Structure formats: C-alpha cells, structure tokens
Structure 1
Amino acid sequence: MTSLLIFLAAAVHLGAFISYPQSGKFGPTFLYISILLWTALAVMLNRALANASRENKAFVAVAFALVCAFSALSFLPQKDGVNPLRKLAAGQYPAGPDFYFGLLRLGIDAPALRPPPQREKPL
C-alpha cells in the first residue's frame, strides 16, 4: 500500500510539473519537498491502515490521490503568480508546447510535441 501511495504522489506531482512548466526556479524545489512530505504521509497512513479492509484502503488511496492533486495544483509556483488550479478553473488548459517544455525541464526531448518554429516578421 505504501508503494502505491508514493507512486500516486510522484505521478500526480510530475504530471502537474510537466503540464505547467512555467514554475521558475522554485518549481523543482517545490517538487522535491512536496513529494518528500507526501511520502511521509503515505508511510504514516500505511501504519494506520494496517488492519483496515480492502475497500477502506481503496477509498484512502483515491482520497490520497485527489488531495495530492489538489495540493500540487494549488501550490505549484508559477512565474505569472496564478496557480495551475486557477488556470484550470479559468479554462486555460495545457497544450502540446507546455508538455514539450515540461518534459524538457526533466531532460526528456519529445520532438513530436515541439512547437512549430515562428516565422520572422519583416521589418
């Protein structure tokens, strides 16, 4: 159960980090510290749920993933000062170039997502 919760926390945080890559210099620091804190919570939850039923553990895993996603999207720093949760609420969804630059920040080059080169404007 612990490894599942840790995987969920890491996947949610990496998904938010890749989808909204304009997090500036504090983005990776937020990513590491937040995943570390959610890992500690996963370990504590695992100890508390040692004798729980399978249904209760499944409910806790789903609730953990939802709260983790809410937290990551609420607190992920952005250069424009608007958190990703407010961007989602305003209808500003991530596009292909966002995913490309997010993956590039992690060291993964995905040429299929690369934005087309912009034409130079004549003087």
Structure 2
Amino acid sequence: MTTDSIEDAVVSAARSKGYAINSTTMATVAVDLAGSKLDGELIAVPGKGSLSVQDYLRDLHDRAPSGFSRLQQPDKPDDRERTISEMRRKRPLDSGWHARHAKATGITKTMMDEIARNRA
C-alpha cells in the first residue's frame, strides 16, 4: 500500500465523521505517515508500531483543529447559508406588490396568489 491509500483512508474516515481536511493538514498527514503501510484499518508506522485510522484522525484533529471543516449536508443547509428561495419566502411582500396583485387577472393572478400563500 502506498501513502496515497493511507491518505485516502484518512480522508474517508474524516468524511464519515462529517469533516473535510484542508491541503495544509493533508501535507501533515503525508509527513507523519511517510513510509507507513495500511493493513486493513491499521496504519503500520515504521519503528513506532500500529494505530487505527480513527485514532490517527482523532490525534490529527487534536493537533490541527483549524485544518478541519464541517461538511455541508445537501439536505441540511447551514444556518448561515440560506438559499435565494428561502430568503424570498421570509421577505414580506411590499405595498406595491399588493397593489399589482389587486389589479391582476388570469394566470398572473393565479401565480401571485401562489406566491402570497408560500410567503404567509
């Protein structure tokens, strides 16, 4: 096994915990584990013994917490990141919109009614 497979295992373990690792921290992984071999879930470090990928990841996170960021879950937007449609739903409709809505007819009236329902 190469160092790349060990790095892949570390990245996969981080992702399974909900984290992404930045490139600077990945450089630390490469230096820490140079010459090591992956044996299943264990990393055999030359002259130092073996440790699990999870234990290494925990140690790395303790040493370099700024190198980890939370992964964005596609079905759970971050509280700080709102989509345009969410912002529109929360924004109140102004008086000009209500005046146009009162005069609208046909499909325009139907669509404006739907907008009003979605924002209420």
Question: Do these two structures clear the TM 0.5 threshold for a shared fold by scoring above it?
Answer: no
Q: Which has the larger share of helix? A: 1
Higher radius of gyration, 1 or 2: 2
Normalising by structure 2, what TM-score? 0.40
Normalising by structure 1, what TM-score? 0.39
Q: Which has the larger share of strand? A: 2
The structure, 1 or 2, with the larger RCO (C-alpha pairs under 8 Å, 6+ apart) is: 1
